[in-house]
Amino acid sequence: MKLLTRVLVTCPPMLGMIESFRPRFEARGVEVVAARVVQTLGEDELCATLPQFDGWIIGDDPATRRVFEAGRAGRLRAAVKWGIGVDNVDFAACRALGIPITNCPGMFGAEVADVAMSYVVALARETFQIDRGVRAGEWPKPRGLSLAGRTLALVGLGDIGRHTARRALAAGLRVIAYDPKAPPVPEAVERADWPARLDEADFVVFTCALTADNRHMFDAAAIARCRDGARVVNVARGPLIDEDALAAALRSGKLHSAALDVFEVEPLPPQAALRTLPNTVFGSHNGSNTVDGVVRCSEFAIDTLLGYLGAPEARP
């Protein structure tokens, strides 16, 4: 008797809408199992669980060689990394093990860019500080910065970076971008080699992928190059920034403030030094999470994975 094809989903945004996607699996005779997860499953838990499944839609879990080897020793035949980022996935291991895999490219550029620019505006006008003050019974009126005529250093010119550049230019910001591999961008975007010209930037915004070469690229040395009072936004990956160095610069006043949607360890640990600083704004690695974006990416992930698994097309 042929076993029913089973798929494990561990991606939190997709899990938040999983009931709406069940019919898409069921129409092709596939059982979908929703993992119980806040942000990621651990490597040991994945090794114990994954062998029971034919396919895996991956979130930000540690998709290591060990995990894929454990899955391949069982039923695992294919995987899809939900979303754009792939720094947590060992693609080389998948190739060696004969496991078809892809990510979901070009899905969330606009959504994440919207969040990046919302953080830029929030730091410029100190809206979060105002909110906290009003809630505490105060009536603060900080003098913020106008965006027009200011300079934004944009680290990364992929899909998210290009969308962010367009929004920044529309707001009247001057954009200096860092990405040696980027295709042509709007003529108004200036190009530079990291970390040159950081002293010109009022805002430093990270939208790039995490690689072995750029971990902690924003460290104490890079921060020292920044203009005093610069504001920092990260909607990319937490390990791009040395959080200890960032906390020290925020504490000393070298940097004015920071808005972080991502962290080196997620969820952000209770003892993290950043938590003690009032000039910070935090997200929950949620920049891509809109109804429209989740549906678009999840349908792509489902259809791609079921194609890999040879699940029959649904009948009209």
| Active site members | 237, 266, 285
Closest CA to 203 of 248, 234, 179: 234
Between 127-135 and 109-125, two packed helices, what is the crossing angle to 10 degrees? Answer: 60
22 contacts: CB under 8 Å, gap ≥ 6: 32
The Cβ-side half-sphere exposure at 62, using a 13 Å CA radius, reads: 15
Mapped onto helix, strand or coil, the DSSP state of residue 219 is coil
> How far is Cα 299 from Cα 80, in angstroms, rounded to an integer?
12
Q: Tell me, what amino acid is at 310?
A: G
Question: Comparing C-alpha atoms, which of 84, 76, 45, 78 is closest to residue 61?
Answer: 45
d(CA 104, CA 90) in angstroms, rounded, equals 16
SS3 state of residue 308: helix
